[in-house]
Amino acid sequence: MRSSISEERNAEVGSGLMRADAFGPEARKAVYDAIHTRRDVRDQFQPDPLPDDVIRRLLEAAHAAPSVGFMQPWSFILLRSEETKRAAWEAFSKANAEAEAMFADGKRDLYRSLKLEGIRKAPLSIVVTCDPDRAGPVVLGRTHNPRMDVYSTVCAVQNLWLAARAEGVGVGWVSIFRDEDVRSLLGIPERIEIVAWLCIGYVRELYQEPELAVKGWRQRLNLEQLICEERWQDMP
């Protein structure tokens, strides 16, 4: 059987390696489209369940993320039961009331108007955790920054999010909860860090700009003001 063109080209650079050519125009555009149209979904989830093969592709994308020392510290807890979602919603509601009280009056009204219904509406939640011990006590690349395992796990979250956008699947990251409430609900050991509660499901539409920008919470910063040359400069 004739080998594929990609196999022939990769054979030129040696065993275990592949060519690092730029993607073609259409593939390159698709990557940037996924990045720039990804949104945090709060309320627009449809009840339709996600097919198993789609979920598998999302998890494979997450598992393909880079990790310091190739430690792969992430794990994924898939949650579908109404009982679990109801208990999670109660934990979120308690923390959300605490969060609302932290903002000044003007912001408080706007905060209250934001719909944060993903936990109850999304047909699937995935809790992403980080195991700091997975690669042993001394990890290549983590010797001087112990948080590198968590940073690696966040890369897995981003991979999943971009893959979901390519699949037409919405994702919402819930971060407003007390750690001990979710830990108790899901039986997560103390040594395991909870990184993200992701609400996942199909959506019919997305905001053209991030929802918080559309609703006046905060606007995107000017990139030019965030770039330094050679050394630190004060930022806005």
Task: Quote the CA–CA distance of 108 and 126 in Å, as a whole number.
Answer: 29
- Reported as a single tens digit per residue, the pLDDT across 212-233 is 999 999 999 999 999 999 999 8
Higher pLDDT: 150 or 8? It is 150
pLDDT of residue 223: 95
Could you give the angle at which helices 52-63 and 148-166 cross, rounded to 10 degrees?
140
Q: Which residues pair with 194 in a beta bridge?
A: 129
**pLDDT at residue 76 greater than cutoff 80:** yes
DSSP 8-class letter at 220: P
Which residue pairs from 31-35 have beta carbons closer than 8 angstroms and sit at least 24 positions apart in sequence? Answer: 34/162, 34/165, 34/166, 35/162
Q: Return the residue matching tokens 């770039």.
A: 227
Task: Quote the CA–CA distance of 208 and 171 in Å, as a whole number.
Answer: 15
Higher pLDDT: 82 or 117? It is 82
Could you give the angle at which helices 25-37 and 148-166 cross, rounded to 10 degrees?
110
Q: Where are the alpha helices (DSSP H) in the chain?
A: 5-11, 25-37, 52-63, 82-101, 105-113, 118-121, 148-166, 179-186, 211-214
- Reported as a single tens digit per residue, the pLDDT across 157-213 is 999 999 999 999 999 999 999 999 999 999 999 999 999 999 999 999 999 999 999
pLDDT of residue 10: 59
Parallel, antiparallel or unpaired: strands 74-79 and 193-202:
unpaired
**pLDDT at residue 1 greater than cutoff 50:** no
Angle among Cα 76, 80, 83 to the nearest 5 degrees reads 120
pLDDT of residue 13: 67
In percent, the amount of the chain with pLDDT more than 70 equals 94
Structural domains present in the chain = 39-212 (3.40.109.10)
In sequence order, what are the residues at sequence separation of 6 or more whose Cβ sits closer than 8 angstroms to the Cβ of residue 175? 196, 197
pLDDT level of residue 39 (50, 70, 90 thresholds): very high
- Reported as a single tens digit per residue, the pLDDT across 95-139 is 988 998 999 888 888 888 887 778 999 999 999 999 999 999 999
pLDDT of residue 7: 61
- Reported as a single tens digit per residue, the pLDDT across 47-60 is 999 999 999 999 99
pLDDT of residue 78: 98
